[in-house]
Structure 1
């Protein structure tokens, strides 16, 4: 694999974000589900030795830089795994260009148009939901394959024929939250900031847990509030069976302290998403009282692919984290698409190669749902435990089966 990296200056700034695999491929991109004849035909028709261009657009500067770093780490590990270390598919070298979107939608679209103008037929990446939606639009307009990364917006699923995703979506987070209690006939209260992020989470809880028989209520907190005691008291007075917390930003610590001081965490099941490693120590004394839904942490699963990913990332000097598997799976999907299509020129063939594909990845068993390209995958329940030196680390409580947390079909 030849990698061209542009603007990869890394920053340590991280935006706190709510976080919140059936037949193992013998050569990474392939699957036991795939026809041997198809794979042979793809190899026969591939332009041997001709480079295959792949563009990865993600944040390597800006507020989501840390997410971009872990995505790229996972992508490089995934390409190594999926190509058996050759960096080639059907005899063609993968020429991967990494571009920094800086968290800016206009910049990302400009980069995408430039790559497409150079003849790139395969694009991937981005942790920003807004950017992912714009890149999906570019993919449809220009008829190229786009595989979104960690962006969690549900709107990516089913948006068009050309767009897939390599991570989970918000509806899967919410469905995992519902696995902590039997919500049928119970009150589930959403405690969130009164902004687009919070309202989106409320809508997802209503759609998923409401459909399972929960009575969904909410306490929505204005963004400019810094004193959370009155709102925590409202939660306690409502006496719900479960509280789903959707929160992001610098006020997280004060918010959790208020919930703890008001006794909410003692008397009610409180569920929120476990983010990346930078958030593990953000909950203070409340850490052991919170139930966490989780997309991924390195100890969530012990399968061989996960171990291979971890070893590759650590050998390269990185640290596996929340979105590392999203990069790894994106690489698996790209290799699969190119391999089965006999190259990257036939975009329709690449799409067909991915639709309905079942494969093993770092989290376990994955399926790309043919109807809307949702990525059906396991999710996890976790808790934070003391690491013995004043910090906190995640520990697996249970795995939620892919089918149990699958999002409703889009459209």
Structure 2
């Protein structure tokens, strides 16, 4: 896709921005899609990538027209600030205006509240970066465009080797609990799994780092997201955790990499995605559309969401059940490679990556060290 085509796309797609979750009236005669995600709040950086990826995916899936047949796709963006109450309010407002398709949910806590709302009102809901496993199989109308915690843990499994003691270090939140459950499900039969649930509001991580060190695990699985990650990693490194045991964690957005500090190159990384993890036409289209040309962690989630929604709208723009049927079993080529919506529970089967960091500071570079095939990373059927 050439950059000059982006101007044509913006002219073809009506985009209604809302700052407080109060979408404007739907455009008459258009195919209306509501995207409720974190424009602000602790996960705003993730939300920004998702939205950029969504716009690029919409251009890619519609051949740079922003249209399906003679109808324009009208996208209304609403901010939930990572708050489930605001998300539900915005979703209800959109549904009340006749929207049949919702997307977004940067936060797992938000996704878990919007999913039942979609089922109650029989509207299609394609959740975004929210990683909680509970979204898979939540209901007939709920799908996901990103990975889930179980797929992260499957990617980490290869790092355990002959180890028998696993400790999960995670926040006491829906995201953290989902990771603990996933680790127990994947590794519980070959290792003893314990966890340290850190208050989501914590800013001093030294006491928790000491608990990890004193437990002497063979593998520490760290699941963390948000602005306190830098302080958390510093504490783990200073208390000797990174030097005394094998620490596995997910590779977060690029802006966070410097937050690993001096211990970044010591980590064994599982990766949902990073720039250069895969190369294909979808990746090249995204790369040209993203400001600066550098893709990041949650760009593929937005890109895939747009592809899924376009496919669903092509099948039946006025009927959610027809859209659901079109997505079940749908396999398509996206930024990460081939993605498949598992028909029975709507898990999104996808390749996952292992990586190491080299360099330091802003010059850190992620290098792929392995790829986990989609079938090998697949979660159990729900």
TM-score between the two structures when normalised by the length of structure 1: 0.81
Deviation, structure 1 residue 90: 2.8
Give the Cα–Cα distance (whole angstroms) in 1 for the partners of residues 198 and 305 of structure 2.
36
- Runs of 5+ unmatched residues, structure 1: 10-48
Question: Residue in 2 aligned with 1:103?
Answer: 82
Question: Residue in 1 aligned with 2:347?
Answer: 374
- Partner of residue 91 from structure 2, selected from 104, 112, 120: 112
Confirm whether residue 266 of structure 1 aligns to residue 243 of structure 2. Answer: yes
Contact 1:277 1:322 (8 Å CA) reproduced: yes
Give the Cα–Cα distance (whole angstroms) in 2 for the partners of residues 331 and 4 of structure 1.
14
Residue aligned with 2:158, SS: coil
1:130-165 deviation digits (Å, cap 9, x = unpaired): 221222122111111111111111111111101101
Deviation, structure 1 residue 241: 2.5
- Partner of residue 277 from structure 2, selected from 296, 300, 317: 300
Confirm whether residue 131 of structure 1 aligns to residue 110 of structure 2. Answer: yes
Residue aligned with 2:297, SS: coil
Indicate the RMSD between aligned Cα atoms, in angstroms.
2.5
Contact 1:8 1:61 (8 Å CA) reproduced: no
Question: Residue in 2 aligned with 1:91?
Answer: 70
Residue aligned with 2:354, SS: strand
- Partner of residue 303 from structure 2, selected from 328, 353, 366: 328
Deviation, structure 1 residue 409: 1.3
Confirm whether residue 167 of structure 1 aligns to residue 146 of structure 2. Answer: yes
Give the Cα–Cα distance (whole angstroms) in 2 for the partners of residues 194 and 4 of structure 1.
36
1:40-99 deviation digits (Å, cap 9, x = unpaired): xxxxxxxxx942111111121222222221111111110111111111113322111122
Question: Residue in 2 aligned with 1:406?
Answer: 378
Deviation, structure 1 residue 277: 1.7
Give the Cα–Cα distance (whole angstroms) in 1 for the partners of residues 109 and 309 of structure 2.
22
Confirm whether residue 241 of structure 1 aligns to residue 252 of structure 2. Answer: no
1:180-210 deviation digits (Å, cap 9, x = unpaired): 2336x62222233456554442222111211
Contact 1:64 1:103 (8 Å CA) reproduced: yes
Residue aligned with 2:249, SS: strand
Question: Residue in 2 aligned with 1:6?
Answer: 17
Give the Cα–Cα distance (whole angstroms) in 2 for the partners of residues 224 and 319 of structure 1.
31
Contact 1:149 1:165 (8 Å CA) reproduced: yes
Question: Residue in 2 aligned with 1:154?
Answer: 133
Contact 1:73 1:318 (8 Å CA) reproduced: no
1:305-330 deviation digits (Å, cap 9, x = unpaired): 1121111123xx67522111111001
Residue aligned with 1:181, SS: coil
- Cα distance change of structure 1 residues 76 and 266 upon mapping to structure 2, 3 Å threshold: same
Question: Residue in 2 aligned with 1:348?
Answer: 321
- Cα distance change of structure 1 residues 230 and 155 upon mapping to structure 2, 3 Å threshold: closer
- Cα distance change of structure 1 residues 248 and 99 upon mapping to structure 2, 3 Å threshold: closer
Give the Cα–Cα distance (whole angstroms) in 1 for the partners of residues 83 and 194 of structure 2.
34
Contact 1:381 1:398 (8 Å CA) reproduced: yes
Question: Residue in 2 aligned with 1:386?
Answer: 359
Confirm whether residue 57 of structure 1 aligns to residue 36 of structure 2. Answer: yes
Question: Residue in 2 aligned with 1:282?
Answer: 259
Confirm whether residue 216 of structure 1 aligns to residue 227 of structure 2. Answer: no
Question: Residue in 1 aligned with 2:7?
Answer: none
Give the Cα–Cα distance (whole angstroms) in 1 for the partners of residues 31 and 200 of structure 2.
46
Give the Cα–Cα distance (whole angstroms) in 2 for the partners of residues 58 and 226 of structure 1.
25
Give the Cα–Cα distance (whole angstroms) in 2 for the partners of residues 233 and 54 of structure 1.
48
Residue aligned with 1:282, SS: helix
Question: Residue in 2 aligned with 1:43?
Answer: none
Give the Cα–Cα distance (whole angstroms) in 2 for the partners of residues 235 and 130 of structure 1.
26
1:325-368 deviation digits (Å, cap 9, x = unpaired): 11100110011111123xx1122111111001111100011110
Give the Cα–Cα distance (whole angstroms) in 1 for the partners of residues 149 and 158 of structure 2.
15
Confirm whether residue 206 of structure 1 aligns to residue 184 of structure 2. Answer: yes
Range that drifts further, 262-271 or 134-143: 262-271
Question: Residue in 2 aligned with 1:19?
Answer: none
Contact 1:378 1:402 (8 Å CA) reproduced: yes
Give the Cα–Cα distance (whole angstroms) in 1 for the partners of residues 136 and 347 of structure 2.
5
